[in-house]
Structure 1
Amino acid sequence: MSGADPTPTESEVLDYFTSLSNWGRWGADDRLGTLNTITDEVRAAAAASIRTGRAVSLSRDIDPHAPDPLASGNSVVQRFTGTGEVEEHFGQPLRFDAVTEFVGIAAHGSNTHVDGLAHYSWEGCNYNGFPASETTSLGGARRLSVHHAVHGFLTRGVLLDIAALHGVDWLERGRPVTPADLLAAEARQGVTVRSGDALLVHTGNVARILHEGPDAVGPAARQAGLHASSMPFLRERDIAVLGNDGVQDVQPSGYGLDLIRPVHTIGLVALGLWLIDNMELTELASVCRDEGRWEFFFAALPWRMVGVTSSASNPVAIF
């Protein structure tokens, strides 16, 4: 932590569950959380910001031959049926054939994916006080399914390049991103994060793992990411979506096991903040420098799958 950022105690971080809460803000039955801040006016203003039409994908390939490149969990399995099934069905030779396949995706793995509001719970509750018990292996997420985000994430995107702020391609493993870092990046880039934005934080984490390999698996891996002390900043700016080239949270978090990933837990449960993990932001950072701007039209469209807590996605930035 920098000298400008006093590290909150574990008790102070736990208080964020109430002091930063959005429960009831948009009604007792609200299923959208911070997506409520993406109004028609926000979408229209974001679309009007497109100047050149240059587009950048913020995802990586989902490859069944390399299903876990970040050691975050297998992302996909793929099985093809044999050929010749069309001829067999019609009982005569045909000039065409077709192949079908089964694709199974573990959406919370190494691929770029959206975390829905039923993904994490705290003391038996999901966002807005919905019982975590209503998400089951058989029934799925019955109250906070990803399919509620039917209008997608279409809004203004802002990239804060924390790696560039410190003059590196990627931050050191386990390096926390603090509120002072976020404010300094805003000042350096001449941009201000505001209500309804998709805030993307570039640490270089994914690029480093792909270049050097992971140092451990899952929560045991050291990764640069947002510190718990950043949560008031995210709430005050009223962002709609948080994206990161990693798992959002710095690892280790600096707190106990209950707060092993406080940005995930407080963000999803208290704020109702939608997250996009393991994004590809290296090219975006380069394009932002080339274009001389750090804001853009942001589009991410989660699948309309009922009962799921996550969705694979290919977010795109358009300049």
Structure 2
Amino acid sequence: MPALPSVEETLGYFDSLSNWGRWGSDDRLGTLNLITPEKRVAAARLVMSGESISLSRNINPEDPDPLGTGLAVVQRFMGLGEVEQHMGKGAARFDGITEQVHIAAHGANTHLDGLAHYAWDGKTYNGFDLSEITSLGGSKKLSVHDAHAGIVSRGVLVDIPALLGVEWLDFSYAIGPEEIDAALERQGVVLRPGDVLLVHTGYVARTLAEGRNDPRRPNQPGLHAGCLPFLKEHDIAVLGSDAIQDVQPSGFPTLDLLRPIHAVGLVALGLWLIDNMELTELANRCRETNRYEFFFAMLPWRMMGVTSSATNPIALF
């Protein structure tokens, strides 16, 4: 398993990998700036068969926390509420049916992390003050609605279980940049600026097959902190995984580095993250066709002042 960088080196990433000011002092898009119109056009050329694969998990009110995220207390209130008639009610032959839906913003569902999700030393991405993010009424500076144009780019899957010849990674397996490079070489894919990088670990499939993880010991495979320079060097626009990006536990003795991919990625790089994706079908299709690049599209909710959006990204072949 690749060695972790030191605490000091990882803390230094907040400065050495920073994108603050790269796209202007008031920038709210971060790495989404890397997805240019030309990048979208190039991605569209990848569509050949028209086959579409969903990369999202179902949101089920009857099983709101299937991954054992520990947010079940919040998500238990997620659901349809009382489904009721609101129009006809016997006065006409038709009825209109409505409900209220409540979703834990960062629970087990597939969701996009906006740049307001994490702060470091009182600052969020691009130096915005934390007080502007946690203000009454929601984030005033950074929010998922900033991605209102959608996230449309070239998607690349990195299949780590296939590289290692296993069905899924062990809980707490730490993926290093060397393994990402090895997987890309095995798959015959070269990363390009503005790509959406999806990391398949098998975590969701294993959890659903073997049972929920213990929320008191949230062990998950994922990237270790040494991958952060790799993400910056390759100008990745969006990072997604079938876990939460960060290996858990992180391997660091300090709580400050509980989730360095989240902390450094969101705050310093302005890197948007997609947690808890469903990548099993995509991984199987990529293996069958030996094709690991595809047209990627995701349309986050245009909600202002929020740090997250439930979402249903797709891979189009």
Percent of counterpart pairs with the same letter?
59
Aligned 1:11-160 pairs, distance under 5 A: 11-72=8-69, 73-74=71-72, 75=75, 76-83=78-85, 85-88=86-89, 93-136=91-134, 138-160=136-158
Equivalent residue for 1:223, pick from 220, 225, 229? 220
How far apart, CA to CA, are the structure 1 residues paired with 2:199 and 2:84? 44
Regions of 4+ moved over 3 Å? none
Q: CA RMSD in A?
A: 1.3
Partner of 1:193: 191
How far apart, CA to CA, are the structure 1 residues paired with 2:67 and 2:203? 10
**Secondary structure at 1:280's aligned position in 2?**
coil
How far apart, CA to CA, are the structure 2 residues paired with 1:225 and 1:173? 9
Residue 137 of structure 1 and its aligned partner are, at CA, apart by 6.0
How far apart, CA to CA, are the structure 1 residues paired with 2:21 and 2:136? 28
- The answer to whether the 8 A contact 1:214-1:221 is kept is no
Q: Deviations over 1:19-38 (max 9, x none)?
A: 00000000000000000000
Partner of 1:183: 181
TM-score normalised by structure 2 residue count: 0.95
Partner of 1:261: 259
Unaligned runs of 5+ in 1: none
Equivalent residue for 2:212, pick from 197, 214, 227? 214
- Given the alignment of the two structures, is residue 287 of structure 1 paired with residue 289 of structure 2, yes or no? no
How far apart, CA to CA, are the structure 1 residues paired with 2:141 and 2:215? 31
Partner of 2:168: 170
**Secondary structure at 2:108's aligned position in 1?**
coil
Tell me which amino acid in the other structure corresponds to 1:86.
M
Residue 248 of structure 1 and its aligned partner are, at CA, apart by 0.5
**Secondary structure at 2:182's aligned position in 1?**
helix
Equivalent residue for 1:203, pick from 193, 201, 204? 201
TM-score normalised by structure 1 residue count: 0.95
- The answer to whether the 8 A contact 1:146-1:308 is kept is yes
The number of residue pairs the alignment matches comes to 311
